[in-house]
Amino acid sequence: MLRLTIVVAATKSNGIGFSSRLPWRLRKEIKYFAQVTTTAPSGQQNAVIMGRNTWESIPQKFRPLPNRVNVVISRNLGYDLCEFAASVNEHDLKSALSQVENLTSASSSSPIHRAFIIGGASIYSEAIGLPTDVVDHILLTRIISPDFEECDVFMPDFLSGKARWKRATHAALEEWVGFEVAEGVQEEDGVKYEFQMWVRD
Ligand code: FOL
């Protein structure tokens, strides 16, 4: 089965959203998100898998997210993804995954390198519940401060679940993503955050 990587920016209270959008605007952080999810060997592309609310939260001019196969999950099979050939509509995470696997098969012209789960809360919950051989990496941008108490969407606390997640070193993070990443606490517009990678075996 295809391996999945979770990509998320979350506060220490696991807040990820407010009022149907990101609670913060961090230019370098979103650039990191774009670079991580786009980087693939030449001739290949990555897939980004998301729920319908997350799809709608992406500014129109950025969707579908360019140079990535966009897979949107909605229970409403008639959901109109608005004209984009680069997007596929699926009704649950499992069928989204088999869709991505079909794209990845030898016959496909553009094989899929990596598949990323990019939210939101219910898709993250489902993904965290999948077995270790499916979801083995979390690229977490930890928002250290402030705590953005207005958050109204949260991701589950993956560290308190049954799975034993371990924080990888910064060198391992850079090796996995394939480019240099700013190390330590970053600050933009008074918001402090850190790029982290968590793995399990
Ligand atoms: N993970 C991380 N680390 N940061 C995030 O902001 C994030 N956001 C989502 C999921 N995982 C994340 C979901 N929300 C765009 C907007 C919202 C969004 C995801 C992506 C977006 O517009 N991305 C553009 C970059 C735009 C820019 O450069 O300003 C892209 O090409 O990826």
13: CATH? 3.40.430.10
Residue predicted with more confidence, 130 or 138: 138
Token pair listed for 77: 């099979």
What is the arithmetic mean of pLDDT over 8-19? 97
pTM strictly above 0.90: yes
Q: What is residue 40's three-state secondary structure?
A: coil
pLDDT band at 167 (very low <50, low <70, confident <90, very high): very high
**Ligand 1 pocket check: which of 25, 62, 123, 148 to mutate, most ligand atoms within 8 Å of Cβ?**
62
Token pair listed for 79: 């959901």
Query: Among the ranges 65-74, 123-132, 175-184, which has the highest mean pLDDT value?
Result: 175-184
User: What's the CA-to-centroid distance between 24 and ligand 1, angstroms?
Assistant: 11
Residue predicted with more confidence, 85 or 167: 167
pLDDT band at 184 (very low <50, low <70, confident <90, very high): very high
pLDDT band at 85 (very low <50, low <70, confident <90, very high): very low
Q: With contact defined as beta carbons under 8 Å apart, do 125 and 92 qualify?
A: no
Of the residues 22, 97, 130, 173, only one is catalytic, namely 22
What is the arithmetic mean of pLDDT over 35-51? 94
| pLDDT above 80: residue 168 | yes
Is ipTM strictly over 0.85? yes
| pLDDT above 90: residue 117 | yes
Ranking 78-82, 127-131, 176-180, 181-185 by mean pLDDT, the lowest is: 78-82
- Quote the domain boundaries for residue 45: 4-199
Residue 106 has a pLDDT of: 57
User: What's the CA-to-centroid distance between 172 and ligand 1, angstroms?
Assistant: 23
Compute the mean pLDDT over every residue in the chain, rounded to the nearest whole number. Answer: 89
| pLDDT above 70: residue 201 | yes
pLDDT band at 133 (very low <50, low <70, confident <90, very high): confident
Secondary structure element (H or E) that encloses residue 23, with its range: none
| Angle of the 121-128 helix axis to the 93-104 helix axis, nearest 10 | 80
Q: Residue 29 catalytic? A: yes
Task: Say how far apart CA 163 and CA 200 lie, in whole Å.
Answer: 7
Token pair listed for 60: 């129109």
Q: With contact defined as beta carbons under 8 Å apart, do 57 and 22 qualify?
A: yes
Residue 84 has a pLDDT of: 53
Residue 2 has a pLDDT of: 81
Residue 98 has a pLDDT of: 83
Residue 6 has a pLDDT of: 97
User: What's the CA-to-centroid distance between 30 and ligand 1, angstroms?
Assistant: 5
Residue 45 has a pLDDT of: 92
Q: Count up the domains in the chain and report the number.
A: 1
